[in-house]
Amino acid sequence: MSIEPTLKQKMIASIDSFQSLPFESYTDPEHFFREQQSVIQNSWMPMCATGDLAEPGDYLSRNVGGEPVMIIRGTDGTLRALSNVCRHRGTPILEAGTGNAKHLVCPYHAWTYDLEGKLKAVPYPGDREIEKNDHTLDSFQLEEWGNIIWVNMDPNAKPLKDRLKGIDRYLEYIDLARFTSSSGMSEPTTWNSNWKLIIENAMESYHLFKCHKETLEPLAPTKDAFYLEGCAAWSVTAGKYTYEGSKLKTDPASLRDFERNNYILVSIPPGFVGTISQDRWGWLSFEPISPTESLVFGASSAPAGRTITGERDELTEAFLAEDKFLCERAQRGMTARRSKGGKFVSLERIINDFHQYVSQQMYATEPKSSWASPDADVHFPKIDVA
Residue 85: pLDDT band with limits 50, 70, 90: very high
With a cut of 90, say whether residue 277 has pLDDT above it. no
Name which of 29-33, 186-190, 354-358 the model is least confident about: 186-190
Whole-angstrom CA distances from 10 to 19, 23, 220, 291, 385 are 11, 10, 35, 18, 46
Stronger pLDDT, 222 or 184, i.e. the higher one: 222
The CATH code of domain 7-40+165-379 reads 3.90.380.10
- Please tell me the predicted confidence (pLDDT) of residue 302: 81
Tell me the mean pLDDT in the region 45-51. 94
Q: 10 Å Cβ neighbour count for 382?
A: 8
Whether the CA torsion 375, 376, 382, 386 is positive or negative: it is positive
Residue 104: pLDDT band with limits 50, 70, 90: very high
CB within 8 Å of 348: residues ≥ 6 apart: 204, 206
Stronger pLDDT, 40 or 184, i.e. the higher one: 40
Interval 290-334: pLDDT, tens: 999 999 998 888 877 666 554 457 888 999 999 999 999 999 999
Domain boundaries of the chain, sorted by first residue = 7-40+165-379, 46-144
Average pLDDT across the chain, whole number: 90
User: What is the phi-psi region of residue 297: left when phi exceeds 0, alpha when psi lies from -120 to 50, beta otherwise?
Assistant: beta
Contact between 259 and 251 under an 8 Å Cβ cutoff? The reply is no
Nearest to 287 by CA among 273, 271, 263: 271
Interval 113-128: pLDDT, tens: 999 999 999 999 999 9
Dihedrals φ, ψ of 314, to 5°?
-65, -40
- Please tell me the predicted confidence (pLDDT) of residue 267: 98
CB within 8 Å of 96: residues ≥ 6 apart: 61, 62, 63
Question: If you classify domain 46-144 with CATH, what class do you get?
Answer: mainly beta
DSSP assignment string, 27-38: T-HHHHHHHIII
Return the DSSP state at 113. Answer: E
Taking the C-alpha atoms of residue 381 and residue 104, their distance in angstroms, rounded to an integer, is 51
Interval 133-187: pLDDT, tens: 999 999 999 999 999 999 999 999 999 999 998 898 888 777 788 888 887 778 8
Instruction: Return the exposure string of 55-78: e unless at least 16 CB atoms fall within 10 Å of the residue's CB, then b.
Output: ebbbbbbbbbbebbbbbbbeeeee
* C-alpha dihedral (337, 343, 345, 348), degrees to nearest 10: 60
- Please tell me the predicted confidence (pLDDT) of residue 374: 78
- Please tell me the predicted confidence (pLDDT) of residue 235: 96
- Please tell me the predicted confidence (pLDDT) of residue 385: 41
The percent of residues in the chain predicted with pLDDT above 70, rounded, is 89
CB within 8 Å of 184: residues ≥ 6 apart: 48, 49, 52, 98, 299
Nearest to 13 by CA among 309, 382, 380, 365: 365
The residue type of 152 is: N
With a cut of 90, say whether residue 370 has pLDDT above it. no
Residue 229: pLDDT band with limits 50, 70, 90: very high
With a cut of 50, say whether residue 1 has pLDDT above it. no
